[in-house]
Amino acid sequence: AQTVTQSQPEMSVQEAETVTLSCTYDTSENNYYLFWYKQPPSRQMILVIRQEAYKQQNATENRFSVNFQKAAKSFSLKISDSQLGDTAMYFCAFLIQGAQKLVFGQGTRLTINP
């Protein structure tokens, strides 16, 4: 069975700072995807970034980037120049290719302070 672990229940940083959220996962599969979703107070789950396991290059999306360490089964999210609108719950998620069943971590509550 696949598991996803987010070891930081809560984090808080000042606006414009850089913050890194941690995620580790466990699987014996070779073909899978990893995602970061954010869930603001509105509860809408929004895709932040995705990474295909077969790609060695780390995904980036504007201020968001990941550090994907396949051997270590680690998938951290870095938010640069953090903004107030980044305040949300962040979920790391794992998907086996073709299975359409996301496995989520417990989430990290991120607060950006002015």
* 98 belongs to the binding site for other proteins (CB under 8 A): yes
The Cα–Cα gap between 77 and 68 comes to 9
Q: What residues does 94 pair with on adjacent strands?
A: 34, 103
The contact pattern for other proteins, residues 14-33, with x = CB under 8 A and - = no contact, is: -------------------x
35 touches other proteins (CB under 8 A): yes
Taking the least distance from each CB to other proteins, the nearer of 44 and 60 is 44
Nearer to other proteins by Cβ, of 13 and 70: the residue is 70
Judged by CB under 8 A, the residue of 68, 107, 108, 110 near other proteins is 107
Strands (DSSP E) found in 6-87: 10-14, 19-21, 24-26, 32-39, 46-52, 60-61, 64-69, 74-79
